[in-house]
C-alpha cells in the first residue's frame, strides 16, 4: 500500500503493484508519440514542414474533408434516427439493424466497391455503354472520398442519437405542445437541443475517423494528410518530413477532441423518472418518401458495396483465379487481432481497476493518458514504432509483437471504457467481504471481481478484435515478413487493380464484423 | 471458475504462439528486401529455397521505400539482400556505402552496361520504358518520337503515370542526367499541366489504358505481355517504343546487391548466383517477359531485341541520385 500525497492536500492509498502496472501501461501509450516528437525535434524540420505550402494545402484538404463528412453524416443520421424511433415507419426494427451495419464495412472496402461500380469505366459505365455512355464523371478526389466516408460513418451519429431519443423525457415535449408549439417548432426548440450531447459524441467519432482514414482516401486519390504521410514515408529518403506531418495530424485530432469537449457545454439534461414510450408520430402519406430515403441510404451503404464485391468475386472465380491464399490471410488476421484484443484488455484492466476502485488525481491522469489513443491515427503510431524499433528495439523490429503493440495503443481507449463499465457493475461489498475473510488482493480479484467482469470484458475484447481486423495503415507498415492479412491483401489487390482478388477477403471482413453487430442490434430491438 | 482456467490456458497458448512467431526469423534465414512485387518475384525465391534448402523471408515494398528503410535501419538492418526494381535505388545505397563488393566472376556474367562500376550490384533482368497506348483511341502514328513532346496540350487529360514507382523515378533521374535539371523540371511541370492521372503502380496504369480511362501511360514494357497472356489478344492496349534516344527509351535493370551488414553473406551470394543462373533467367524471360541479362538466355521473340532499342547512351550507375529526383518530384508536386 502506498500513500500518495499530491499537492500536500490529498492522500490516496493505492496498491503499489497496481499503480506500477498502470503507470507502465500509460508510459507505453505515450512512447510512440514521445519518440516521434524527439525525432522531429532532432531533425529540426518541424517548422519548415508546417510552414510549407504543400503542408498547408494538405491540412486544409484534411480539415475540409473531416468537416464535410461530419456535417453530412449528422445530416443523414439525425433524421434517420428520428424516423426509426419516433414514427410509425414500416419495419422500423429492420431499418434499425440495417443502419448500424455500414459500420461493418471498412472504408477502404467501400472505396474499392465504389471505384469498381462507379469508376470512370466501372460496372455502371459498362451497363450504360450500349446507350453511348463512354465514361462517367470521375469519382476520384474530394467528392468520392467525402461520399464514401459519409456513407460508412453515419452510424456513429445514428446509434447515440437513437439511444438519446429513446431515453428522452417526453414531458418537455409535451409541455411545449401544451404551450401551443407546433410539431416542427417542438422538434427544433425542444427535442434537438436535448440531442446535442449525443450528436456531438457521434460527430466526434466521425471527425476522428475521417481525419485518420487512410485506405479510402488513398484508393480515391484524395491527398489528405494520411495519404501524404504515407507517400512521403514510402518515397523519401528523409523520413523526418513524414514524421512531422504525423505530429500535425495528432495535433489536429486533439483540436477536434477539444472542440467536442467545449460544445458539450455546461448544460445538463436530466431524464425524469417517468419512462413512458414517447409519442409515435403517424407519418401518413409521408411514409412513402421516408421509406424511399431509407432505402436509398441502405442501397448506397450496404447493397451497392456487397453486390459489387459479389460481382468481382464471381468474375474472379470465373477467370479461374485461385482463392486459396485467403485461408492463410484470414488466419493471420484472426491471429493478430486475437493477440491484439488479449493484450489490449490485459493492459486496460489495471487502468480501469485503478480508476474505479482507487479514484484520485493520479489514477484519473493515467486513465486520461490511455484515452490519448483516440487521437493517435494508425499511421502515426505505425511510423513512430517503425522509427523507434529500427533504431533502438531491433529484437522486436518487424515482429508480430510490434504490430500487436500498435493495436493495443490504438484500441486501448475502447478496452478501458469496456473494463470500466464492467467494473462499475461489480458491487465492491463482495470484494470487501472476501478481504475481510482474510483473502489477499490478488486472490479476491481473481475469484470475486474478475468472474463478475467477464461478460463486460469479453464485450470489450470483441470490440477490439473487430476493429483490429479492419485496421489498415498500421498493419500495412508494421506487419512482419510475409504476414499478409485480409486488410493488407485487399489493399495490395486494389492498388494493382486486381479487384477479383480483393473481393473474397473484403466479403469475409464484412461478414465477420457484421454478424456480431447484427445479433446485438436484434437483441436490443427485441428487448424493447 | 472453469471459464477462468480456460481463459488462462488460452492466454498461455497465445503468448507461446507469439514467441514462436516472433522468433520465426531465426539465424538461418536469408532476409531479402524486395522493391519488386511479390507476384513477380516470389516464385523465383521459392525455387531458390527449394533447391538450396536455405529459408528465405522477404519484405516487399516500393523500391525507394526499401532503400530508405535500409538507410533508416543503419547497421541494425536485418536485410541481407536488396532486390531493386531499378538501378537508381541500388546506386543510392552504393553511394551511402551500404553495399558489399560482389565476386568478379558473378559481375562478369552481365554486360558492363548493366552492372555497377564499383562492382556492388549486378543487373538481373532488363526492362525498357515504353508508352502504353489504347488501341481504340490512339493511332500509333500520332505518338511523338520523344517523351518530351507529351507536354503538348493535345495530351491534356489523356496521360496516366505512377509517380511512386521505382522505374518511373529512375526514368526521371535519367531525364535529369541526360537533359539537365531545368528540362526535367519543365517536363514534369508540363505533364502536370496536362492533368495526368496518378496510379499506384504500372499494372493499374496499364489496366486503365486498356479500358480507356486514359489514352497513354508511361510504364515498363513487360506488363503488356503479362496481360496478353491473361486476357488474350483483345486486350485494349499496346506498347509504343520511343524512337528519340531520350530517357523515354531508357533500358533499366532490375538488380540485386548484398548488404555490407549482411549476416548471411554466403547464402546471399548463393542467391545472387541463382538469380543469374539459366533457370532464373529463363523465368524472367518466359514468365515476367523481361530481357534476360546473363546465361545467354534469349528474350521473348515478340519483344523488340535489346540491341534494336533506341536506348540513350548513359551509365546506369549514374542514376544514383534518387534523393534528388524525389526532391524534384515533391517540388513540382508530382508527389504530395
Cα separation, B269 vs B275, in Å, equals: 10
Q: Is the pLDDT of residue A232 over 70?
A: yes
Kind and range of the H or E run holding A500: helix A499-527
Give yes or no for B326 touching A (CB within 8 A): yes
Min Cα separation A309/chain B (Å)? 18
C-alpha cell at A165: 431519443
A387 vs B contacts (CB less than 8 Å): 72
Q: Which of B4, B72, B330 sits opposite A450 (nearest CB)?
A: B4
Q: Specify burial of residue A226 (Cβ count, 10 A radius: 0-12, 13-18, 19+).
A: buried
Q: Is the pLDDT of residue A456 over 90?
A: no
More confident residue, A128 or A70: A70
Residue B326 to residue A495, Cβ atoms within 8 A:
no
Instruction: Name the β-bridge partners of A13.
Output: A3
Q: Are A381 and A409 in contact (CB under 8 A)?
A: yes
Please, which pLDDT band fits residue A9 given cuts at 50, 70 and 90?
Answer: very low
pLDDT per residue as tens digits for the range A91-141:
888 898 899 999 889 999 999 888 888 876 667 777 777 777 666 667 888
Between chain A and chain B, the number of residue pairs with CB atoms below 8 A apart is 124
Q: What share of chain A is helix, strand, coil (3-state, %, to 5)?
A: 80, 0, 20
Q: Are B248 and B131 in contact (CB under 8 A)?
A: yes
Q: Which of A135, A237, A338 sits opposite B68 (nearest CB)?
A: A237
Orientation of helix B166-179 relative to helix B63-73, angle to 10°:
90
Q: Which of B207, B213, B336 sits opposite A231 (nearest CB)?
A: B336
Residue A236 to residue B330, Cβ atoms within 8 A:
yes
Neighbours of A262 (CB within 10 A): 8
Residue A236 to residue B207, Cβ atoms within 8 A:
no
Q: Which of residues 132-161 of A touch B (CB under 8 A)?
A: 134-135, 140
Low-confidence winner among A61-70, A82-91, A101-110, A494-503 (lowest mean pLDDT)? A494-503
Residue A342 to residue B64, Cβ atoms within 8 A:
no
Q: Is the pLDDT of residue A527 over 70?
A: no
Residue A121 to residue B211, Cβ atoms within 8 A:
yes
Q: Which of residues 64-103 of B touch A (CB under 8 A)?
A: 64-65, 67-69, 71-74, 76, 78, 92
Q: Are B291 and B307 in contact (CB under 8 A)?
A: no
Q: Are B114 and B293 in contact (CB under 8 A)?
A: yes
Cα separation, B328 vs B317, in Å, equals: 19
Kind and range of the H or E run holding A157: helix A155-167
Q: Which of B1, B69, B336 sits opposite A228 (nearest CB)?
A: B336
Query: How high is the pLDDT of residue B21?
Result: 52
Please, which pLDDT band fits residue A41 given cuts at 50, 70 and 90?
Answer: confident
Q: Shortest CA distance to B272 belongs to which of B285, B263, B259?
A: B259
Please, which pLDDT band fits residue A493 given cuts at 50, 70 and 90?
Answer: confident
Query: How high is the pLDDT of residue B16?
Result: 57
**If you average pLDDT over residues A159-165, what whole number do you get?**
90
Q: Are A199 and A181 in contact (CB under 8 A)?
A: no
Query: How high is the pLDDT of residue A8?
Result: 45
Query: How high is the pLDDT of residue A265?
Result: 58
What proportion of chain A, given as a percentage, has pLDDT over 90?
A: 38
Give yes or no for A420 touching B (CB within 8 A): no
Query: How high is the pLDDT of residue B143?
Result: 93
Q: Is the pLDDT of residue B17 over 60?
A: no
Residues 6+ apart with CB under 8 A from A205: A153, A156, A157
Query: How high is the pLDDT of residue B24?
Result: 46
Min Cα separation A387/chain B (Å)? 8
Query: How high is the pLDDT of residue B271?
Result: 96
Q: What is residue B163's three-state secondary structure?
A: coil
For A3-25, letters b (16+ CB in 10 Å) and e give: eeeeeeeeebebbeebbebbbeb
Q: A497: which DSSP letter?
A: T
Query: How high is the pLDDT of residue A1?
Result: 45
Query: How high is the pLDDT of residue B71?
Result: 87
Residue A135 to residue B201, Cβ atoms within 8 A:
no
| Interface mutation target, options A235, A481, A493, chain B, most CBs of B under 10 Å | A235
**If you average pLDDT over residues A139-158, what whole number do you get?**
93
pTM of the model: 0.86
**If you average pLDDT over residues A173-193, what whole number do you get?**
84
Residue A387 to residue B69, Cβ atoms within 8 A:
no
Q: Shortest CA distance to B247 belongs to which of B319, B321, B158, B139?
A: B319
HEC states along A47-103? HHHHHCHHHHHHHHHHHHHHHHHHHHHHHHHHHHHHHHHHECCCCHHHHHHHHHHHH
B58 vs A contacts (CB less than 8 Å): 481-482
Residue A237 to residue B18, Cβ atoms within 8 A:
no
Cα distances (Å, whole numbers) of residue A6 to A27, A181, A350, A352, A367: 20, 53, 21, 21, 17
Cα separation, A4 vs A24, in Å, equals: 17
Cα separation, B286 vs A407, in Å, equals: 42
Query: How high is the pLDDT of residue A19?
Result: 92
Q: Which of A386, A400, A446 sits opposite B18 (nearest CB)?
A: A400
Query: How, if at all, do strands B122-134 and B216-220 pair?
Result: antiparallel
A314 Cα distance to chain centroid = 31
Q: Which residue of B has its CA nearest to A221?
A: B198
Query: How, if at all, do strands B291-292 and A10-14 pair?
Result: unpaired
| Interface mutation target, options A129, A214, A237, chain B, most CBs of B under 10 Å | A237
Q: Is the pLDDT of residue B19 over 60?
A: no
**If you average pLDDT over residues A151-170, what whole number do you get?**
89
ipTM over 0.90: no
Q: Are B195 and B157 in contact (CB under 8 A)?
A: yes
A497 vs B contacts (CB less than 8 Å): 203-204, 207-208
Cα separation, B55 vs A462, in Å, equals: 36
What proportion of chain B, given as a percentage, has pLDDT over 70?
A: 92
Residue B207 to residue A497, Cβ atoms within 8 A:
yes
Supply φ then ψ for residue B219, to 5 degrees. Answer: -140, -170
Give the angle subtended at the CA of B330 by the CAs of B326 and B332, to the nearest 5°.
Answer: 120
DSSP A325-377: HHHHHHHHHHHHHHHHHHHHHHHHHHHHHHHHHS-SHHHHHHHHHHGGGGGS-
Q: A281: which DSSP letter?
A: B
pLDDT per residue as tens digits for the range A74-92:
999 999 999 999 899 998 8
Residue A447 to residue B73, Cβ atoms within 8 A:
no
- The residue assigned the cell 500518495 is A4
Query: How high is the pLDDT of residue A10?
Result: 47
pLDDT per residue as tens digits for the range B49-85:
999 999 999 988 888 889 988 988 888 888 999 999 9
Min Cα separation B270/chain A (Å)? 21
Q: Is the pLDDT of residue A243 over 80?
A: yes
pLDDT per residue as tens digits for the range A266-305:
555 555 555 556 678 888 888 899 999 999 999 999 999 9
Cα separation, A496 vs A479, in Å, equals: 19
In whole numbers, what is the pLDDT of chain A averaged over residues?
Answer: 86
A513 Cα distance to chain centroid = 13
Alpha helices in B134-201 (DSSP H): 166-179, 181-193
**If you average pLDDT over residues A183-206, what whole number do you get?**
88
Amino acid at each position: 500500500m502506498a500513500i500518495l500525497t499530491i499537492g500536500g492536500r490529498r492522500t490516496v492509498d493505492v496498491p503499489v503493484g497496481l499503480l506500477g502496472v498502470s503507470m507502465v501501461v500509460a508510459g507505453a501509450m505515450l512512447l510512440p508519440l514521445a519518440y516521434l516528437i524527439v525525432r522531429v525535434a532532432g531533425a529540426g524540420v518541424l517548422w519548415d514542414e508546417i510552414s510549407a505550402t504543400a503542408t498547408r494545402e494538405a491540412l486544409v484538404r484534411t480539415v475540409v474533408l473531416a468537416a464535410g463528412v461530419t456535417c453530412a453524416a449528422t445530416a443523414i443520421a439525425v433524421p434517420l434516427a428520428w424516423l426509426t424511433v419516433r414514427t410509425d415507419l414500416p419495419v422500423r426494427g429492420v431499418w434499425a439493424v440495417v443502419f448500424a451495419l455500414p459500420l461493418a464495412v471498412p472504408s477502404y472496402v467501400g472505396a474499392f466497391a465504389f471505384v469498381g461500380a462507379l469508376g470512370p469505366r466501372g460496372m455502371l459505365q459498362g451497363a450504360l455503354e450500349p446507350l453511348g455512355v463512354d465514361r462517367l464523371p470521375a469519382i476520384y478526389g474530394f467528392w468520392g472520398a467525402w461520399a464514401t466516408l459519409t456513407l460508412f460513418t453515419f452510424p456513429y451519429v445514428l446509434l447515440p442519437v437513437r439511444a438519446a431519443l429513446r431515453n428522452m423525457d417526453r414531458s418537455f415535449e409535451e409541455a411545449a405542445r401544451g404551450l401551443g408549439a407546433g410539431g416542427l417548432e417542438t422538434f427544433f426548440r425542444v427535442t434537438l437541443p436535448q440531442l446535442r450531447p449525443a450528436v456531438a459524441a457521434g460527430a466526434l467519432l466521425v471527425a476522428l475517423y475521417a481525419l485518420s482514414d487512410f485506405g479510402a482516401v488513398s484508393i480515391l486519390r484524395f491527398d489528405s494528410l494520411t495519404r501524404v504521410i504515407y507517400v512521403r514515408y514510402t518515397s523519401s529518403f528523409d523520413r523526418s518530413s513524414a514524421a512531422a506531418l504525423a505530429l500535425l495530424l495528432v495535433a489536429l485530432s486533439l483540436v477536434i477532441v477539444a472542440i467536442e469537449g467545449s460544445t458539450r457545454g455546461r448544460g445538463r439534461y436530466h431524464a425524469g423518472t417517468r419512462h413512458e414510450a414517447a409519442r409515435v408520430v403517424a407519418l401518413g402519406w409521408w411514409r412513402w418518401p421516408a421509406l424511399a430515403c431509407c432505402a436509398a441510404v441502405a442501397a448506397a451503404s450496404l447493397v451497392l458495396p456487397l453486390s459489387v464485391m459479389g460481382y468481382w468475386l464471381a468474375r474472379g472465380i470465373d477467370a479461374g483465379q485461385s482463392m486459396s491464399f485467403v485461408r492463410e490471410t484470414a488466419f493471420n488476421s484472426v491471429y493478430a487481432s486475437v493477440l491484439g484484443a488479449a493484450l489490449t484488455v490485459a493492459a486496460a484492466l489495471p487502468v480501469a481497476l485503478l480508476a474505479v476502485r482507487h479514484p484520485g488525481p493520479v489514477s484519473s491522469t493515467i486513465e486520461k493518458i490511455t484515452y490519448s489513443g483516440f487521437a493517435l491515427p494508425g499511421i502515426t503510431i505505425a511510423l513512430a514504432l517503425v522509427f523507434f524499433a529500427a533504431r533502438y528495439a531491433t529484437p522486436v523490429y518487424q515482429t508480430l509483437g510490434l504490430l500487436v503493440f500498435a493495436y493495443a495503443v490504438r484500441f486501448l481507449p475502447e478496452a478501458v471504457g469496456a473494463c470500466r463499465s464492467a467494473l462499475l457493475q461489480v458491487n465492491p461489498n463482495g470484494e470487501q467481504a472476501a478481504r475481510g475473510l482474510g483473502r489477499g488482493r490478488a486472490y479476491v480479484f481473481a475469484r470475486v471481481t474478475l468472474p463478475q467482469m467477464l461478460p463486460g470484458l469479453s464485450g470489450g475484447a470483441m470490440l477490439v478484435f473487430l476493429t483490429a481486423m479492419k485496421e489498415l495503415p498500421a498493419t500495412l507498415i508494421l506487419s512482419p515478413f510475409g504476414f499478409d492479412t485480409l486488410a493488407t491483401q485487399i489493399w495490395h489487390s486494389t492498388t494493382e487493380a486486381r479487384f477479383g482478388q480483393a473481393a473474397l477477403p473484403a466479403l469475409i471482413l464484412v461478414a465477420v464484423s457484421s454478424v456480431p453487430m447484427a445479433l446485438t442490434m436484434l437483441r436490443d430491438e427485441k428487448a424493447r | 471458475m472453469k471459464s477462468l482456467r480456460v481463459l488462462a490456458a488460452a492466454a498461455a497458448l497465445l503468448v507461446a504462439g507469439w514467441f514462436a512467431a516472433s522468433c520465426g526469423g531465426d539465424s538461418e534465414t536469408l532476409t531479402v528486401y524486395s522493391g519488386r512485387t511479390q507476384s513477380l518475384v516470389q516464385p523465383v525465391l521459392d525455387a531458390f529455397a527449394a533447391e538450396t534448402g536455405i529459408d528465405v523471408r522477404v519484405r516487399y515494398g516500393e523500391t525507394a521505400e526499401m532503400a530508405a528503410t535500409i538507410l533508416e535501419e543503419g547497421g541494425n538492418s536485418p536485410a541481407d539482400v536488396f532486390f531493386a526494381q531499378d538501378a537508381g535505388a541500388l546506386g543510392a545505397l552504393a553511394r551511402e556505402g551500404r553495399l558489399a563488393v560482389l565476386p568478379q566472376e558473378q559481375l562478369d556474367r552481365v554486360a558492363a552496361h548493366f552492372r555497377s562500376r564499383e562492382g556492388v550490384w549486378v543487373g538481373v533482368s532488363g526492362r525498357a520504358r515504353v508508352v502504353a497506348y489504347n488501341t481504340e483511341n490512339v493511332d500509333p502514328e500520332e505518338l511523338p518520337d520523344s517523351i518530351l513532346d507529351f507536354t503538348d496540350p493535345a495530351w491534356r487529360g489523356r496521360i496516366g503515370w505512377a509517380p511512386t514507382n521505382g522505374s518511373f523515378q529512375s526514368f526521371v533521374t535519367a531525364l535529369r542526367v541526360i537533359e539537365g535539371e531545368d528540362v526535367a523540371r519543365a517536363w514534369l511541370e508540363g505533364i502536370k499541366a496536362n492533368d495526368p492521372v496518378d496510379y499506384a503502380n504500372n499494372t493499374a496504369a496499364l489496366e486503365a489504358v486498356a479500358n480507356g480511362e486514359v489514352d497513354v501511360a508511361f510504364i515498363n514494357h513487360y506488363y503488356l505481355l503479362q496481360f496478353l497472356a491473361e486476357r488474350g489478344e483483345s486486350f485494349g492496349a499496346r506498347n509504343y517504343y520511343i524512337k528519340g534516344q531520350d530517357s523515354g527509351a531508357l533500358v533499366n535493370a532490375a538488380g540485386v546487391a548484398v548488404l555490407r551488414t549482411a549476416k548471411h553473406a554466403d547464402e546471399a551470394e548463393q542467391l545472387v548466383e541463382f538469380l543469374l543462373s539459366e533457370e532464373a533467367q529463363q523465368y524472367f524471360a518466359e514468365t515476367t517477359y523481361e530481357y534476360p541479362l546473363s546465361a545467354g538466355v534469349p528474350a521473348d521473340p515478340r519483344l523488340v531485341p535489346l540491341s534494336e532499342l533506341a536506348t540513350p547512351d548513359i551509365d546506369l550507375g549514374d542514376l544514383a541520385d534518387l534523393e534528388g529526383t524525389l526532391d524534384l518530384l515533391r517540388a513540382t508536386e508530382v508527389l504530395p
